[in-house]
Amino acid sequence: MKVTIVGAGAVGASCAEYVAIKNFASEVVLLDIKEGVAEGKAMDLMQTATLNSFDTKITGSTNDYSKTAGSDVAVITSGIPRKPGMTREELIGINAGIVKEVSSKLIEQSPDVTLIVVSNPMDTMTYLVHKTTNLPKNRIIGMGGALDSARFKYRLSEALECPPSDVDGMVIGGHSDTGMVPLTRLATRNSVPVTAFLSEDRLNQVAEDTKVGGATLTKLLGTSAWYAPGAAVSGLVQAIACDQKKMFPCSALLEGEYGLNDLCIGVPAILGKGGLEKIVEIDLDEAEKNKMKESAEGVKKTNGLLEF
């Protein structure tokens, strides 16, 4: 199992570390356009191998895509990150060109690759890859919902004053501060609905804190977060590499599911060796359907800024 991560910045390097520590990949290739950065981070990570008990080989390369040949899964994190006060949508002008070039070069070296898109605005970048490559739709996945859901569960555990492992919940919709749809109605603590523990006002606060989770961290850090995004990506990579059939909310190309067409947006999906193997349609109430529709309209508006 060979995994390539394009973009050796904080998110890419964090993802490489988590993939290596989970010890399911034979090789991880880190690639970056900046001279020496990918090689340096790969070497630094390899020097943790005996300390963290993994055998995954991590190599780095400065923009040499031949090193990525034969990749089973490739992650695209390249592009500029958010700065305080920026929306994900503001990144589209620069990142669209980068993602289009990177995806083309990856597919040239690895025609059977499954691509995971992380670069923002993520739903639109995932849509761009669908429109500009010949990969089947099950092999193009956007990573947003897995991260948003992790942030949702963190906020729920905080409100419940319980261990995070007690909590289950999911965020669907667009990967944006206004587009996320945290499913508070369906969230549980050890199978008990969280509505049994938390008031409607407190749950609304949890949902709002979740939606601005990335912006909150950007304000604190001065740039985008990396630990949770890297961990979320590694979870998707492992589900595909190990054929786990795990369900994650992912940005998928919809063709009628949830009453939506011709856009990529976060929905529950089963991931395995076939990539995105199945979109799971869950019953939403009217309020959730309306929020999903509003989110889709926002994503389509951003998609309209693309130049193919």
CB 246, CB 170: distance < 8 Å: no
Give the single-character DSSP code of 26.
S
- Is 72 annotated in some ligand binding site? no
- Is 12 annotated in some ligand binding site? yes
- Is 189 annotated in some ligand binding site? no
Give the single-character DSSP code of 167.
E
Nearest to 23 by CA among 62, 60, 50: 50
- Is 32 annotated in some ligand binding site? yes
Rounded distance between C-alpha atoms, residue 142 and residue 87, angstroms: 18
Other CB atoms within 10 A of residue 55 CB: 10
- Is 139 annotated in some ligand binding site? no
End-to-end CA distance of the chain: 32
- Is 145 annotated in some ligand binding site? no
Residues 6+ positions from 200 with CB-CB distance below 8 Å: none
- Is 52 annotated in some ligand binding site? no
- Active-site residue flag, 130: no
- Is 23 annotated in some ligand binding site? no
- Is 11 annotated in some ligand binding site? yes
Cα 168 to the chain's mean position, in Å?
A: 18
Q: Catalytic residue among 67, 175, 291, 300, which?
A: 175
Annotated binding site for substrate: 82, 88, 120, 151
Annotated binding site: 7-12, 32, 82, 88, 95, 118-120, 151
Annotated binding site for NAD(+): 7-12, 32, 95, 118-120
Residues taking part in catalysis: 175
